[in-house]
Amino acid sequence: MSTTILRPGFLVSLKTAIRGGIDYQRAALDAPAPDAPEAEVTRWETTRTIADREEHARAVETRTHAVGCVRRVCLATSFGLLCPLSREDLLDAAIGEAREIADAFNQGARHSRIDVYVLRGRIAENDEESTRAIASEVRGLLDEMESGVRSLDVPSVRDAARRARELAQALDARSAERVGSAIDAARVAARAIVRRVEKGGEAAAEVLASLNLGPVAAARFAFLDLSEGEPEGPALPGVEVQRFAALDLSEDPYRPTLPVAARTLEWE
């Protein structure tokens, strides 16, 4: 692939874990007879014991804070966090801050420990696998915008447009302009749906027929062309791993997943 659509940056894989402080006991229970002779049915009962509720609550809050330190300088995608090359110093500082937050908790905790792991890889602007991955991500958001308009789902259109606007910051100027035009067209369509269909009572089919989704289709076609030959399923960016910033790889298998909202960043 000779086409370049990316700005150079880093792919950041962030993983945190709360270890200790919770005990799980699982007991086997009698299971009902299976409906088919070749089937097998098993039942368990799990009992969870938290050694110190207040400490565990602080551990969850502290981990959320540590994760936020790194995510606030990155852009969230379906395959990891992206960080612009110009923010390398900020990324290093954020990783250090996240570890300091975890260490401060660990020093005073009796039952729990927070671990912060970071895997960072360099993405070059001519990285073919990364280009396919980003193109697939953008194309998916364009699909969401178009299908949202056609199904009159305004919140879906606006959410996809917001995420596409953020992801466009990882693209070169020409590609970002294509995505920007598609976003503008989708937002105009969403406003028309609200004004004319939801408030004005016009027939949905007539309103849809009058909307211009050409920029969305054009952008989608451009990114579809970029991802020719990609395998089924989401592609994983090919990066050169520079550093795995973690000492302890153990993890509590029962830890909850705590989503942290991605924030818009400026790619300089």
For the stretch 155-185, pLDDT in tens is 999 999 998 988 888 888 888 899 999 999 9
Chain-centroid distance of CA 168 in Å reads: 14
- Mean pLDDT value of segment 80-93: 90
- Residue of higher predicted confidence among 91 and 170: 91
pLDDT band at 4 (very low <50, low <70, confident <90, very high): low
For every residue of 131-197, DSSP letters joined together read HHHHHHHHHHHHHHHHHHHHTT-HHHHHHHHHHHHHHGGGB-HHHHHHHHHHHHHHHHHHHHIIIII
pLDDT confidence of residue 3: 53
pTM: 0.64
Residue 152 CB neighbours (<10 A):
17
